[in-house]
Chain A
Amino acid sequence: MQHQQITHSGDSDSIKVFVRVRPLTQGTGLTTDGDQGLCLSVTSPNTIRLHSKPEPRTFTYDHVADMDITQDSVFSSVAKNIVESCINGYNGTIFAYGQTGSGKTFTMLGPSDFDNFTDDQRGVIPRSFEYLFFLINRESENAKSFLCKCSFIEIYNEQIYDLLDSASASLFLRENIKKGVFVEGAVEKFVTSAAEAYQVLSMGWRNRRVASTSMNRESSRSHAVFTMTLESKETAKEVVNIRTSQLNLVDLAGSERQRDTHTDGSRLKEASSINRSLMCLGQVIMALVDVSNGKSRHICYRDSKLTFLLRDSLGGNAKTYIIANVHPGSKCFGETLSTLQFAQRAKLIKNKAMINEDTQGNVR
């Protein structure tokens, strides 16, 4: 008899990676101002070469966009398909990842002033709203009706804040057998048009800034998750068919900030003498347990709030795109390399859970 375990990860291709190289600019306050040296070049629509020493390194992704790409074609390659799937009942997630200043906000929102709904430079989010409501209006002609709700939360320091209700205390994540993972008590606003959705977004975005001054935190240290829940109702032959789906738009904390909390590499964690806590011991043990596999074991350390909330998006039952933004300046080499490496790892993210199959039955 053999006993076998089979890993499984829904749609293996559920995570796609799009790399966008921002143009060099002057006067943005970046350390790279005036530095014309480039650390990378785009060698094909899906490869990027990093001029590392001694050997240049080539990375391959689903799509690589060079400096001259338009906002519209970013939207077409990344979001169009995901928005369409949402209308059809799939969950979808778009992440923006990268160093602060690498163009995340520009890619996702567009130029920094906010009344640019018609601006040519508007980003993935406003375009997604427009396209979503364009599709809703089209589908509504065929006896299908839609209900659209938005929520907007921020994860800072493993605490969850509601950006649509700046007065609220921190919120909790919960799971429900029907609804999956959700933020308990988060405000949900009904919207009926792209303009309304955009209004909700910019209101929340302003709160994020307010919060960042009042609590002395930088926006680049927090993750923001904008969620649209779409409910469609179709009546055909007296049978009502209700589908719900979620579109998550996620602005991750600047990648350079992630490093602070990251323990990868060989760096030893020091003992903090203050609370007599050897904080990292658990992680060491965890690494030991993870190596010897095949047996059923329980790991006591919880997911981070972000990965828990977006569990479906990372190797689950959803369509996910990660936009990795990089700055081409040679001074950003280190950050760019780590962003490219993250983006490559992201391709490998798979749900670790398994289907246990006991094959003893096959001989009987």
Chain B
Amino acid sequence: MDTTLSTPTTGPRLSHTEITNMASTYSHEWRAVCDKFNNAQDLSEVESRKDPENDPFRSKYKARELLREIYCSLKNFDVGENESVNDEADQRPTEQPVDGGMEEGFGRGHCGDSPAGSRAAKLGAVEYYLGVNHVETEELSAGEEHLMNCMTLLEKCSISPENVSLFIQVRNQLGILWAGRDEIEKAQGFLETAEAMYIRYMKEDGQPPMDLTEFFVAEEEALPQQERTKRFEMAYTHTLYYLAQVYKNLEQYEKAGGYCHSTLQRQLEFNQFIPLEWAINAATLSQYYITKTLYMEGRHCLSAASVIADLAGEVPSEAAAQESEAEAEKRDQLRQKRAEIARCWIKYCLNLLQDAKKLLEDNIGELDMDRQAELRATRLQEEEEKERGRKSAVLFGSSDTFDSICGLEEKVSCVFPVDFEEARAIFLVGQTYVNQAKEYFEMDGHVTDHIEILQDHSALFKALAFFEEDLERRCKMHKRRVDMMEPICKDLNAQYYLLVCRQLQFELAETYYEMMDLKLAVANKQDDLDAHTVKKFNHLCSSSTKFYQMFLDSVRSPEGKWPDKLEDEVLRPALVAKFRVARLHSRLISSSKTVQLENLNRALECYNFVVQYCKDNPEAKSAIETELELSEEMVSLLPLKINRLQANLASSN
């Protein structure tokens, strides 16, 4: 063979001529090989989809035959033609290469683009396709053998633009194969090596490498550089995508999250994505970040999700949807997915507010001024640090979308709010998304979703109320929560929505309880209680009682029987409800001693219930320690008070 085949020192090394040259003296036979390869590809990827159900692998088997023929021809081409390619038998390593030791196997043996290297790569490619073919036809061990043959052939070569794709893709396949056999660590080894090879290749060489299919095409059909890049990067994206799954299976969630992030980023960068699907994945990833308190990352994912979802196009009008089924489906899809992303945004705002609240509250749940000052001071410093961290983090965006994503990010903060103004800004963003989400998730048709959104809205108000210093205004915020939940709680059919009903009842009871507390705090600042305030206060007390009672009634059997033993899941809420009802009764204000007595007796009854229940079911004690302690105290104190009142009442009569 021609000696000019050695690597040119300048210019693009990769040359198609070199590869076809090898068989140049056999160009006729080479054409036949290329045709066979095309045929095999077509059978495997197109024809096979039409195979009958009782003969599902017909086309794959035909493709396999062709690949085998190609393999034989290839071996014949080179025999005696190339000195450096000796008989395989003495070259074959005694041990099969096993991946995992990352850099092992790099840069040894033949130059990737030497004739010997080229021959090895071509044979390797056929082995690769044979391997994939066997895996697809459920002959895993035969598949493994072919893929390992490919590895062995490559072992002798250094990485070059001709073979780097093959290096990576054969490892992708082996990764899938071993994961399928439940040997995740083995899969991890192959995939991590593939990852390392990509990184090293890009660092040391970086020109668009040859695609696997190009081993078997005529010169004039070589792929353009751009297409080569695309396919190569795609193969690597798949490596990362498989690694994400591997790490998930190994329960290395942080790593898995990182690889999901990189996969998404690369899909965007190389324009290999379906906008809505991508957006939903990014929005879901944001939820991972917010559960890890990584708000900057969460916000970034959400902004990207919103921007990319917009790339999916305009929502068809209602009229258009009525005209055609396709438009109707598109309309539904777009509206639904955007509403879903809005809901992820709601959770972002909600968690940010709630986490800030947790940081700032004192031991009775009020805003702690010292902590507020502290947080303000440390924040400046933190922001700078975060900015630095940010630069090292992976950012989403292609050239067209990057600015819009950053623009959207600026609309909401990602640091904990410290005062009402800051909290309100986050609240308002959350509220905008609430309204957006409700447009699609209407009550009629999406009951559960709609109510979940309302519950989030209520939670947003609750978190905001924490930052409000004016108690009257705080009370009004809670009133807004009541207004959005109370009507639904009345209409909702408990037979189908028992759990949601209970959630609403409990939350309404707590909200009224909270309002009652606030009213009391306001009243305490005044000198004396006017009749209006008393009326209002009593009204809040009985409303709270009413909803606790509704919740408690839902625990009863349809015949109205109270269960001897509470289910684990309602144990604490039910006992807490009893306890609160007791307190509410003892707080009701009345000038009539008879009514006072009645209320105290009912309170005692409820306290007794809690104490008695825990006596009968000692395992319940741990669930409501504080409440039980207070109940026991009240059970010993209240009778004295009741007796005194009774005596008082008797003497006045």
* A interface residues (Cβ-Cβ under 8 A, vs B): 1, 3-4, 6-12, 88-91, 174-181, 244-245, 265-271, 275-278, 280-282, 284-289, 291-301, 312, 316-317, 350-351, 353-364
A362 to B572, CA, bound (A): 13
Q: Which residues of A contact B573 (CB under 8 A)?
A: 6, 8, 355, 357
Q: Which of B267, B272, B493, B580 contacts A178 (CB 8 A)?
A: B493
Q: Which of B267, B445, B498 contacts A316 (CB 8 A)?
A: B498
Q: Which residues of A contact B363 (CB under 8 A)?
A: 1
Determine whether B491 belongs to the interface, using a CB cutoff of 8 Å to chain A: yes
Contact yes or no, B291 A268, CB < 8 A? no
Number of interface residues of B (CB under 8 A): 93
In the complex, the number of residue pairs spanning A and B with C-beta atoms less than 8 Å apart equals: 220
Contact yes or no, A317 B496, CB < 8 A? yes
Contact yes or no, A300 B510, CB < 8 A? no
> Quick one: which of B199-239 are within 8 Å of A by CB?
234, 237-238
Determine whether B154 belongs to the interface, using a CB cutoff of 8 Å to chain A: no
Contact yes or no, A286 B491, CB < 8 A? no
Contact yes or no, A9 B244, CB < 8 A? no
Q: Which residues of A contact B244 (CB under 8 A)?
A: 281, 284
Contact yes or no, B176 A268, CB < 8 A? yes
Contact yes or no, B445 A278, CB < 8 A? no
Contact yes or no, A176 B364, CB < 8 A? no
Closest B residue to A89 by beta carbon equals B558
Closest B residue to A359 by beta carbon equals B576
Closest A residue to B444 by beta carbon equals A176
Determine whether B187 belongs to the interface, using a CB cutoff of 8 Å to chain A: yes
Binds A, one of B80-88, B114-122, B342-350, B415-423: B342-350
> Quick one: which of B511-541 are within 8 Å of A by CB?
513-514, 517
Pull 26 A–B residue pairs with CB atoms less than 8 Å apart, ordered by A. A6-B569, A88-B558, A174-B446, A176-B447, A177-B447, A177-B491, A244-B495, A266-B249, A267-B180, A268-B245, A276-B274, A277-B277, A278-B241, A278-B267, A287-B256, A295-B290, A299-B287, A300-B340, A317-B494, A350-B569, A355-B499, A356-B506, A357-B572, A360-B364, A361-B517, A364-B364
Query: Known contacts A7-B569, A8-B570, A178-B493: does B365 contact A1 (CB below 8 Å)?
Result: yes
Closest CB of chain B to A127's CB: distance in Å? 25
Contact yes or no, A297 B290, CB < 8 A? yes
Q: Which of B288, B444, B502, B568 contacts A288 (CB 8 A)?
A: B288
Closest A residue to B500 by beta carbon equals A353
Closest A residue to B245 by beta carbon equals A268
Contact yes or no, B499 A361, CB < 8 A? no
Contact yes or no, A361 B287, CB < 8 A? no
Q: Which of A12, A88, A89, A299 contacts B284 (CB 8 A)?
A: A299
Q: Which residues of B contact A175 (CB under 8 A)?
A: 445-448
Contact yes or no, A287 B284, CB < 8 A? no
Contact yes or no, B291 A289, CB < 8 A? yes
Contact yes or no, B459 A287, CB < 8 A? no
Q: Which of B182, B283, B364 contacts A265 (CB 8 A)?
A: B182
Contact yes or no, A362 B579, CB < 8 A? yes
Determine whether B617 belongs to the interface, using a CB cutoff of 8 Å to chain A: no
Q: Which residues of A contact B569 (CB under 8 A)?
A: 6-10, 12, 350
Determine whether B192 belongs to the interface, using a CB cutoff of 8 Å to chain A: no
Determine whether B280 belongs to the interface, using a CB cutoff of 8 Å to chain A: yes
Contact yes or no, B498 A10, CB < 8 A? yes
Closest CB of chain B to A294's CB: distance in Å? 8
A174 to B500, CA, bound (A): 17
Closest CB of chain A to B563's CB: distance in Å? 10
Q: Which residues of A contact B264 (CB under 8 A)?
A: 281
Contact yes or no, B351 A295, CB < 8 A? yes
Contact yes or no, A289 B241, CB < 8 A? no
Q: Which residues of A contact B576 (CB under 8 A)?
A: 357, 359, 362
Per-residue interface assignment for chain B, residues 38 to 75, with 1 indicating a CB less than 8 Å from any chain A CB and 0 otherwise: 00000000000000000000000000000000000000
A96 to B277, CA, bound (A): 34
A301 to B276, CA, bound (A): 12
Q: Which residues of A contact B354 (CB under 8 A)?
A: 296
Q: Which of A88, A269, A295, A357 contacts B245 (CB 8 A)?
A: A269
A269 to B354, CA, bound (A): 37
Top 5 A-B residue pairs of the complex, sorted by shortest distance between their CB atoms: A180-B496, A8-B569, A317-B498, A175-B447, A292-B291
Per-residue interface assignment for chain B, residues 275 to 301, with 1 indicating a CB less than 8 Å from any chain A CB and 0 otherwise: 001001101110110111000000000
Contact yes or no, A278 B263, CB < 8 A? yes
Contact yes or no, A363 B364, CB < 8 A? yes
Determine whether B409 belongs to the interface, using a CB cutoff of 8 Å to chain A: no
Contact yes or no, A300 B283, CB < 8 A? yes
Closest A residue to B287 by beta carbon equals A297
Q: Which residues of A contact B327 (CB under 8 A)?
A: none
Determine whether B179 belongs to the interface, using a CB cutoff of 8 Å to chain A: yes
Determine whether B260 belongs to the interface, using a CB cutoff of 8 Å to chain A: yes
Closest CB of chain A to B241's CB: distance in Å? 5
Determine whether B361 belongs to the interface, using a CB cutoff of 8 Å to chain A: yes
Contact yes or no, A364 B517, CB < 8 A? yes
Q: Which of A8, A271, A285 contacts B281 (CB 8 A)?
A: A285
Q: Which residues of A contact B589 (CB under 8 A)?
A: none
Contact yes or no, B287 A298, CB < 8 A? yes
Contact yes or no, B503 A356, CB < 8 A? yes
Contact yes or no, B179 A180, CB < 8 A? no
Determine whether B595 belongs to the interface, using a CB cutoff of 8 Å to chain A: no
Contact yes or no, A296 B456, CB < 8 A? yes
Closest A residue to B182 by beta carbon equals A266
Closest B residue to A13 by beta carbon equals B567
Contact yes or no, A287 B291, CB < 8 A? no
Contact yes or no, A271 B238, CB < 8 A? yes
Contact yes or no, B495 A1, CB < 8 A? no
| Most chain B CB atoms below 10 A, which of A245, A278, A299 | A278
Q: Which residues of A contact B626 (CB under 8 A)?
A: 362-363
A9 to B502, CA, bound (A): 11
A88 to B557, CA, bound (A): 12
Determine whether B127 belongs to the interface, using a CB cutoff of 8 Å to chain A: no
Q: Which of A4, A268, A298, A312 contacts B246 (CB 8 A)?
A: A268
Q: Which residues of B contact A179 (CB under 8 A)?
A: 493, 496
A9 to B494, CA, bound (A): 14
A69 to B341, CA, bound (A): 53
Determine whether B553 belongs to the interface, using a CB cutoff of 8 Å to chain A: no
Closest CB of chain A to B239's CB: distance in Å? 10
Beyond A275-B274, A301-B280, list 9 extra A-B contacts (CB 8 Å). A176-B447, A179-B496, A267-B179, A271-B241, A276-B234, A285-B285, A291-B253, A356-B503, A357-B576
Q: Which residues of A contact B488 (CB under 8 A)?
A: 177
Closest CB of chain B to A299's CB: distance in Å? 7
| Most chain B CB atoms below 10 A, which of A1, A91, A275, A355 | A355
Closest B residue to A357 by beta carbon equals B573
Q: Which residues of B contact A181 (CB under 8 A)?
A: 496
Closest CB of chain A to B212's CB: distance in Å? 12
Q: Which of B176, B456, B580 contacts A361 (CB 8 A)?
A: B580
Q: Which residues of A contact B630 (CB under 8 A)?
A: 362
Determine whether B468 belongs to the interface, using a CB cutoff of 8 Å to chain A: no
Contact yes or no, A288 B253, CB < 8 A? yes
Query: Known contacts A295-B351, A364-B364: does B272 contact A284 (CB below 8 Å)?
Result: no
Determine whether B273 belongs to the interface, using a CB cutoff of 8 Å to chain A: yes
Contact yes or no, A11 B567, CB < 8 A? yes
Contact yes or no, A300 B280, CB < 8 A? yes
Determine whether B627 belongs to the interface, using a CB cutoff of 8 Å to chain A: yes
A357 to B260, CA, bound (A): 34
Closest CB of chain A to B218's CB: distance in Å? 23
Determine whether B394 belongs to the interface, using a CB cutoff of 8 Å to chain A: no
Contact yes or no, B344 A300, CB < 8 A? yes
> Quick one: which of B175-189 are within 8 Å of A by CB?
175-176, 179-180, 182, 184, 187
Q: Which residues of A contact B484 (CB under 8 A)?
A: none
Contact yes or no, B292 A296, CB < 8 A? no
Query: Known contacts A8-B573, A361-B510: does B291 contact A298 (CB below 8 Å)?
Result: no
Contact yes or no, A91 B499, CB < 8 A? no
Q: Which residues of B contact A9 (CB under 8 A)?
A: 499, 567, 569
Determine whether B16 belongs to the interface, using a CB cutoff of 8 Å to chain A: no
Determine whether B369 belongs to the interface, using a CB cutoff of 8 Å to chain A: no
Query: Known contacts A275-B274, A276-B274, A298-B340: does B288 contact A356 (CB below 8 Å)?
Result: no
